[in-house]
Amino acid sequence: MKVMIIVTHLLGSGHLSRAATLARAFQTAGHNTTLVSGGGPAPHICLGDLSVVHLMPIRSDGTNFSRLLDMTGAPVTDKLRRHRSQQLTNVLENLRPDVLITELYPFGRRNLAEEFLLLLETAQGMARRPLILCSIRDILTPPSKPEKVHRTEEVIHSFYYGVLVHSDPARVPLDISWPVTDPLRARLHYTGFVTPTAPEPKARTVSQPVVLVSGGGGSVGRPVYRTAIAAAARMPEKTWHILVGGIKAADELADLVPLIRSENVILEPARPDFRQLLMSAETSVSMAGYNTVLDLLQTGVPSVLVPFDDGSEVEQTLRARALAQTGGFEVLTASRLTPEALEVAVRSAAISGGPRPITESGMEGARRTVDIVETLAERVWHSSIGTP
């Protein structure tokens, strides 16, 4: 099959990372796969030998997802929107994929509805219409208005054959964050969690226990980084390895260096071997994004979660609360984030939690996604119904 996956990450890089993992799984299974990325640069995401098409990149204005900016920080113009729409349809018409997967839309990225709808209408009008699917994570941003739910289901009903939910319904059903109606439930396909295979440990050059601090691939980790630097001075017996992410990582690093008052701090940009570093850390301090949480479950490292909750964001808080019910996780809300509180949380996670059993069940979501899509394609194209 020819598979086309479209993703636009606006703040962090989790959406791109998950889409890349899916693309790699399809490629490994022998399918001709193209990943179309509409977000900004994410050098710490290893795309390897994937076939990637980059649209003119855009990003959100911080947590204001209704205001889109280009990479210079200027508001996105109608001309740029038209250019992106044309790029997308050109890729579609050139590839003529058998399977078209949109990441998040129409459950999110509604401010990009114009380009997605043009893409979907173009796909629907093809002589051999692709199997159109939506790919979403475990927890969505809950809709603020009933109209958003209604419009989402309208788009699903008009264009989509199914929705791939990258979660385990026994642990995190979609109903936790989104009102699932009976018609929508009939189109859901739970895949399990999408994550790469478990990493191998990374050898350390320091003899002290390591606290690995990360803020994801976005530009919202500043409070965590700064608090960690201050907490490190209170815990000289541990090495604090702080990884700074986001497109402005270099500027952030320059601002953080003068704050360091102790010799037990390693400060550097986010690294592609983050998961390997986790394997040899005593404790992790991070936000509670989808990919990070799966890394923590796979590596078993005791963890302090500081869920991102600026603006109307509740996704990470919901995820952190679910994890708090298991051992080895401490949750520290942003409003309580102080050096003293972080010190207490790190000590508590390391002592009371200890290394957790590594979670393997439900982590084969990438392979299961390929299996599900292959089955759906077989069902549609070789049934009496004909092409989707």
Q: What is the per-residue pLDDT for 201?
A: 63
pLDDT tens, 37-96? 999 988 778 888 999 999 999 999 877 888 999 999 999 999 999 999 999 999 999 999
CATH number for position 112: 3.40.50.2000
- Give residue 321's pLDDT band: very low, low, confident or very high (50, 70, 90): confident
Together in a domain, 370 and 318? no
Q: Where are the alpha helices (DSSP H) in the chain?
A: 14-28, 78-95, 113-124, 146-159, 182-185, 222-234, 249-256, 274-279, 290-299, 315-324, 339-348, 365-381
Look-up: residue for tokens 């990919």? 291
Spatial distance between the Cα atoms of 288 and 90, rounded to a whole number of angstroms: 36
Together in a domain, 283 and 312? yes
The answer as to whether 251 is a domain residue is: yes
The answer as to whether 126 is a domain residue is: yes
Together in a domain, 157 and 132? yes
pLDDT tens, 105-148? 999 999 999 999 999 999 999 999 999 999 999 999 889 899 99
Pairing of strands 303-305, 329-331: parallel
Query: Residue 316 pLDDT > 80, yes or no?
Result: yes
pTM of the full structure? 0.84
The answer as to whether 199 is a domain residue is: no
Q: How many domains does the chain have?
A: 2
Q: Which is higher by pLDDT, 50 or 218?
A: 50
Together in a domain, 129 and 233? no
Mean pLDDT of the chain: 89
Closest CA to 243 of 215, 263, 211, 224: 215
Query: Residue 387 pLDDT > 80, yes or no?
Result: no
Q: What is the per-residue pLDDT for 362?
A: 73
CB 178 within 8 A of CB 142: yes
Provide mean pLDDT across the span 209-221.
83
The answer as to whether 27 is a domain residue is: yes
Together in a domain, 219 and 338? yes
Together in a domain, 143 and 248? no
Domain that holds residue 326: 210-353
The answer as to whether 215 is a domain residue is: yes
The answer as to whether 187 is a domain residue is: yes
The answer as to whether 217 is a domain residue is: yes
Provide mean pLDDT across the span 330-334.
91
Spatial distance between the Cα atoms of 313 and 309, rounded to a whole number of angstroms: 5
Q: What is the per-residue pLDDT for 245?
A: 85
The answer as to whether 388 is a domain residue is: no
Together in a domain, 127 and 223? no
Together in a domain, 182 and 249? no
